[in-house]
A and B are shown apart, each in its own frame.
Chain A
């Protein structure tokens, strides 16, 4: 049996005046105000500022185009971060990444860097672990917010954080992993 072609009419524009676009814009701009913060966190988690910038912007565009749904979420910021992370991971998987953590700091920065030893240890963390560390210690997200932002269970956040800290401590000459 041949399927019938689905009728899909272009929606009419009735009711446009009922949409309060100014409120919607304000809410989106509130989200957009967090963009730089999210970008910096993602850049550190991924080790790739260029990719992070692209991914955050892509996520912002997606958030905007479906803002009627996203704004109802508990944490649109977390949604954007999660989408950006997914987008970036997809791109990372397909490219040879240039990890900023693999790059030595500029000479003038070395003198000022607060903790080069820790920086080296962070550079050796897998992206999974680094993402959790960045969410907790840079974004200052709670376990629940980190779970939401990374799209993983809270238990996984705790596990990864614990393992990341243990690994860092080991690299810094502390407890064994």
Chain B
């Protein structure tokens, strides 16, 4: 009689050999059509891409060796003078409308916060005007350089994409590279509204919106350009919980009310109602715009999470202002002592290439008899808990650490993550229940030692 192990080998090999041909399985992928706002377009087209990359290896390799930029002859940008822009814009105000963008809508949405749902998005700007006029006026209200223009407008899946860019021709051969990005727009009965703005190279996918209105996570950028983050009421004023409601001193514009610094940049702001989440690259003036409206997590998302088998505790998330941002985007906190059972929450704001954080919450109860709890977060190099000073130039991956290292969180001591993956908490014998909030229950293991 075959052992279970032998049966497993035979069965798995049989199943593997009888998988459908790959050319027939891609259409089964349930992403792109259903909910464009939640899709990961980076998954698209890969076989062809890999094949092309192999063929184009020398070019790509050389490009990668040179920082990944394909714009070799470009010059270093300089700070634009917002009120004194006289040179010729690179972008045109007669945008190209030919439909050649592919899944650009998906790519743009992929860079927006994880909870952003394009179908339910709250507009950040609206105007009774045509698409170009609305887009340009929006960029003006966000104080982008005067020479910003639209280089392309295209409609995809019922949404209008407008590519914005600014920069200057220094001479016939050199371009000062400014910033560029996209606006996701939608027509209304009388005009257009801007649903989201994105900046090329600014990744907001690590930002999450919690059920109780926290905006948490890390802003990632492909450059070390200074970044300002604002969480604003719909009238443009900072929300009550903004850490720096006055913004940056001596600035011409209000910015950096929620966070300011070089990326990756941690964000933790609570909002009580609809708000605007805005991120600017800043260098003497506002250089770019990424922006979405913030709303509540939908019931549909929670249903989806539950359908995927995650263990969801339906108790309301405790309100707390005790979140602590740690280097590299990991935030932890011991929160309220509800019913005599304090909760430990761990939230990981991950960095590429781990999946984006989500709003699903796993509660892992720990026995009252436990004397030690160690929360293990595997693969910290991808969880960004090694410290921002160790990030590489792209700000995406940590350079130190290894897959075998763990973030070990003991109850018993309190401190902060420095340059190691250790976070300890102060002893509190009253602790009887611990909870871990993470993206998925299965990527965080909790070990505990029971009282002998």
A154 / chain B contacts, CB cutoff of 8 Å:
404
Max chain A C-beta neighbours (<10 A), residue from B15, B46, B439: B15
The digit string for B4-48, where 1 denotes a CB below 8 A from any CB of A, is 110111111111101110100111111100110011101111110
Q: Compute how far the CA of A10 lies from the CA of B73 in the bound complex, rounded to whole angstroms.
A: 8
Q: Compute how far the CA of A90 lies from the CA of B62 in the bound complex, rounded to whole angstroms.
A: 31
Q: Compute how far the CA of A105 lies from the CA of B262 in the bound complex, rounded to whole angstroms.
A: 54
- A60 touching B72 in the complex, CB below 8 Å, given contacts A6-B223, A153-B378: no
Q: Pick the contact of B379 from A82, A90, A98 — CB < 8 Å?
A: A82
| Total A-B residue contacts, Cβ distance less than 8 Å | 262
Residue of A whose beta carbon sits closest to that of B301: A94
The digit string for B303-318, where 1 denotes a CB below 8 A from any CB of A, is 0110111100000000
- A95 touching B35 in the complex, CB below 8 Å, given contacts A49-B19, A65-B60: yes
B235 / chain A contacts, CB cutoff of 8 Å:
none
B64 and A172 within 8 A (CB): no
- A138 touching B16 in the complex, CB below 8 Å, given contacts A19-B65, A25-B57, A54-B43: yes
Q: Which of B59-110 contact A (CB under 8 A)?
A: 60-62, 64-69, 71-79
Q: How far is the CB of B377 from chain A (nearest CB, A)?
A: 10
Q: How far is the CB of B281 from chain A (nearest CB, A)?
A: 9
The digit string for A88-106, where 1 denotes a CB below 8 A from any CB of B, is 0111111111101000010
Residue of B whose beta carbon sits closest to that of A151: B379
A151 and B76 within 8 A (CB): no
B67 and A10 within 8 A (CB): yes
A100 / chain B contacts, CB cutoff of 8 Å:
19
A21, CB-defined interface residue at 8 Å: yes
- A61 touching B50 in the complex, CB below 8 Å, given contacts A49-B25, A118-B7, A122-B11: yes
B29 and A54 within 8 A (CB): yes
Max chain B C-beta neighbours (<10 A), residue from A1, A2, A109: A2
A19 and B40 within 8 A (CB): no
B249, CB-defined interface residue at 8 Å: yes
B45 / chain A contacts, CB cutoff of 8 Å:
57
A43 / chain B contacts, CB cutoff of 8 Å:
16, 19, 25
B27 and A95 within 8 A (CB): no
- A57 touching B46 in the complex, CB below 8 Å, given contacts A3-B283, A95-B34, A114-B11: yes
Q: Pick the contact of B50 from A25, A55, A57, A126 — CB < 8 Å?
A: A57
Q: How far is the CB of A127 from chain B (nearest CB, A)?
A: 7
A50 and B25 within 8 A (CB): yes
A62, CB-defined interface residue at 8 Å: yes
Residue of A whose beta carbon sits closest to that of B14: A114
Q: Pick the contact of B40 from A1, A87, A147 — CB < 8 Å?
A: A87
B29 and A50 within 8 A (CB): yes
B249 and A1 within 8 A (CB): yes
B382, CB-defined interface residue at 8 Å: yes
- A91 touching B25 in the complex, CB below 8 Å, given contacts A19-B65, A118-B7: no
Q: Compute how far the CA of A10 lies from the CA of B53 in the bound complex, rounded to whole angstroms.
A: 22
Q: Compute how far the CA of A56 lies from the CA of B14 in the bound complex, rounded to whole angstroms.
A: 21
Q: Compute how far the CA of A109 lies from the CA of B64 in the bound complex, rounded to whole angstroms.
A: 47
The digit string for A135-154, where 1 denotes a CB below 8 A from any CB of B, is 00110000000011001111
Q: Compute how far the CA of A156 lies from the CA of B321 in the bound complex, rounded to whole angstroms.
A: 33
Q: Pick the contact of B445 from A60, A94, A152, A172 — CB < 8 Å?
A: A152
B49, CB-defined interface residue at 8 Å: yes
A68 and B65 within 8 A (CB): yes
A58 and B54 within 8 A (CB): no
A168 and B49 within 8 A (CB): no
Q: Compute how far the CA of A12 lies from the CA of B47 in the bound complex, rounded to whole angstroms.
A: 31
A21 / chain B contacts, CB cutoff of 8 Å:
57-58, 61-62
Q: How far is the CB of A157 from chain B (nearest CB, A)?
A: 10
B22 and A64 within 8 A (CB): no
The digit string for B348-367, where 1 denotes a CB below 8 A from any CB of A, is 00000111101010000000
B251, CB-defined interface residue at 8 Å: yes
Q: Compute how far the CA of A56 lies from the CA of B353 in the bound complex, rounded to whole angstroms.
A: 13
B358 and A93 within 8 A (CB): yes
- 20 chain-A/chain-B pairs, Cβ below 8 angstroms: A3-B262, A5-B77, A10-B66, A11-B67, A13-B62, A21-B62, A32-B54, A43-B25, A50-B28, A58-B43, A61-B50, A68-B65, A90-B355, A92-B308, A93-B305, A98-B30, A118-B11, A126-B309, A153-B378, A165-B5
Extra 6 A-B pairs, beta carbons < 8 Å, given A91-B39, A168-B8:
A19-B61, A43-B16, A49-B28, A93-B358, A98-B30, A105-B18
